[in-house]
Amino acid sequence: MGLFSPRSASRPVILPTPVSRDRLVGLFEGQGWKYYIDNEGDLGGNWDDNQFYFMFRGSDAEILHIQSMWHTTLDIEHLEEVRLFIDEWQREHLWPKCYHRISDEGRIRVFAEHTVDLEFGATDDQLMQQVRCALGTCTQFFDQISRALGV
């Protein structure tokens, strides 16, 4: 069967459908994952003690934005190490986007994000691939920064 041959009648065509929080909840439940919905309606969960939020952005809620926060905060004295590590990570890896913020208390918080435009929808497999990519790459980043900084 060539590249442009018709599909076999025995293989159903799976079309992308619009993405939503409810679809993610269904996928999470299918995996047996624990999750919560916060007071703002955002879907969240914890993996390896790191907090993840799964939010939809854009005029039609077509952009899946997965934001994670490292479970550790650091003293301000580690700021240069954190900056250097993030810069190096970003040079070597496409995902996730990583950055830091300094809290009002002067502590360093480290974040990682994965954002994808799903304007044309996604199949469940495609949606799960994006979630797994975010969970895997963010967790990998947090593990590596933990090792690099000795925390």
72: domain CATH number is 3.30.1460.70
The pLDDT score that the predictor gives to residue 14 is 84
Q: Is residue 143 part of a domain?
A: no
User: What total number of domains does the chain contain?
Assistant: 1
Instruction: State the pLDDT confidence band at 141, using cuts at 50, 70 and 90.
Output: very high
Contact between 73 and 60 under an 8 Å Cβ cutoff? The reply is no
User: Average pLDDT of the chain?
Assistant: 93
Q: Is residue 50 part of a domain?
A: yes
| Range of the structural domain that residue 38 is part of | 21-138
φ, ψ for residue 66 (rounded to 5)? -110, 115
For residue 16 the two structure tokens come to 């992308």
Output the pTM of the full model. 0.88
Which residues have CB under 8 Å from 78's CB, separation 6+? Answer: 108, 149
Q: Is residue 146 part of a domain?
A: no
Contact between 38 and 44 under an 8 Å Cβ cutoff? The reply is yes
Instruction: State the pLDDT confidence band at 81, using cuts at 50, 70 and 90.
Output: very high
Q: Is residue 111 part of a domain?
A: yes
Q: Is residue 103 part of a domain?
A: yes
Residues 59 and 69: their CA atoms lie apart, in Å, by 25
The number of residues making up the chain comes to 151
Q: For residue 54, what are the β-bridge partners? A: 43, 66
What's the gap between Cα 4 and its chain centre?
34
Neighbours of 52 (CB within 10 A): 23
Helix axes 124-149, 21-31, angle to 10 degrees: 70
Q: Is residue 7 part of a domain?
A: no
Q: Is residue 122 part of a domain?
A: yes
Q: What would the pLDDT profile of 46-62 be if each residue is shown by its tens digit?
A: 999 999 999 999 999 99
Q: Is residue 77 part of a domain?
A: yes
Which residues have CB under 8 Å from 65's CB, separation 6+? Answer: 54, 55, 56, 57, 113, 114, 115
